Chains A and B, each alone.
Chain A
């Protein structure tokens, strides 16, 4: 019963994707072409995200912590 629900839900999601991208009206070979291109682009986006996003976040964190960390030290020196 749960498997059937899951399968129905997945089919519903696939159908929504077909409707939104207007693939529903295309002929089968056009649909295959569109699916190939879409999956390729999506895979490239995911791969780029996986390779670059953690490094960028780490560098940004270091940059901002250097600014605020450096300022804190200078104010402490003046107080003393």
Chain B
């Protein structure tokens, strides 16, 4: 019921039925062997590597519940070598990896001492390429390090309020075109510690199905009633809003004190972008408040990198609470909350993070200041705008080529987060290991983070990737897609590029 000014293309294609059957079959086999191994461990036929109680404590109340970690013990452990890989360089477009091997099927690892150099990085949240070690670029950061040192040693409300924080907050407010902003030392803590300050008992939180754990934790800590609407589904949200206003609180039927809608700009597991214009229309109609978490979208979408609000051409005053993190596009750490001055002043006194958590350290604040100035163009160059354009070009190219090759890729065409569906549990491990053999580092995600039948590999395109790097990755994906049979898409594909590979065309005379 809303017409968008730009085309809004999102795909969530379903795989053929046999894929779902084989996925569940694979999990079934894994579960059966899991039961077998648990049986062998319980009866002493196999050495147990996990924590168990001492013999004398066997009659007490159990400390470790055997079944709870069934999945971790029996399925995750087998392919555990694809996660927590230690990096020994800056996570730029390429990084160095420490080589590690396992002798006992992933229960313990040991380092061989070698370093795998120049692995192409398709997993880091380095959207604008600010994770760099160029001495020229980091000059101001080095100066601030010399002046202020590294530690802050206090909270924001006591002695930890440094002039760098004030400068950064003014800059963030200017960047987002709002009245005021406040920065915190940690992105996760920004969500989980500030939502309890904004809502409490007697309030209603309407949160998207696929919200990040930090939002869920913040909502649960606040004590408000939480209702969940289907992912990016405006009919579901409207129905919940109408029910809330018509029926009020559960038993007393009084009006809700506040209704807060929690959404994210880009959802990191799906790559989908929130339908912001429709949500703002709904919120104005039903008089609710909107909390927008732009962790992945700030700096990454929008013509000048100012996030989803700019991407849809909307007014930032329409969103009540703008939240974001500096970890993804700015190469630093921390989060911010921006909005009206009254809101930010309220949070300065009432936020748990401001009262108890150490504030952001000065070199990190300076890194954000220099990155933000670069994106806004205040340092006198067009480098920031070039990075934003390069990112959007890379994203479009990468997604278009993947669609052409026939992979199932979720999400919006403009989002730099690209989830490629793998589905079967056996393919998760095979995909990650073979990509590492080809010197490409990818992140694969499986069951607890995604639905059980939809495991995926998640690529994060960066402005620092050159066309050659993306081509290398795409060729490797093409090969691997044929070898592992991952090209499930049933939409029409463009003609195979091999037809045009001729180096010389000889015309028959």
Contacts and interface: CB of A to CB of B under 8 A. Distances in A.
Interface of A: 12, 15-16, 18-27, 30, 34
A15 to B, nearest CB: 8
Interface string B68-80: 0000000100110
Given A27-B105, A30-B33, A34-B29, A22 B483 contact: no
Given A12-B483, A16-B485, A34-B29, A22 B426 contact: yes
Contacts of A23: 29, 426
Nearest to A24: B426
B488 interface: no
Interface string B473-507: 00000000001110000000000000000000000
A22 B424 contact: yes
Given A21-B426, A23-B29, 7 more contacts: A12-B483, A19-B430, A20-B426, A22-B424, A23-B426, A24-B430, A25-B425
Contact of A26 (B33, B430, B483, B484): B33
Contacts of A12: 483
A60 to B, nearest CB: 29
A21 B105 contact: no
A80 B427 CA distance: 71
Contacts of B424: 19-20, 22
A20 B26 contact: yes
- Which 3 residue pairs spanning A and B have beta carbons closest together? A22-B26, A19-B426, A24-B426
In this complex, the interface size class of chain B, counting residues with CB under 8 Å from chain A, is 20 to 34
A18 B36 CA distance: 19
Contacts of A21: 25-26, 29, 426
A20 B29 CA distance: 10
A23 B163 CA distance: 59
A20 B21 CA distance: 10
A27 B485 CA distance: 23
Contacts of A19: 26, 424, 426-427, 430, 484-485
B22 interface: yes
B30 interface: yes
Contacts of B427: 19
B27 interface: yes
Interface string B417-435: 0000000111101100000
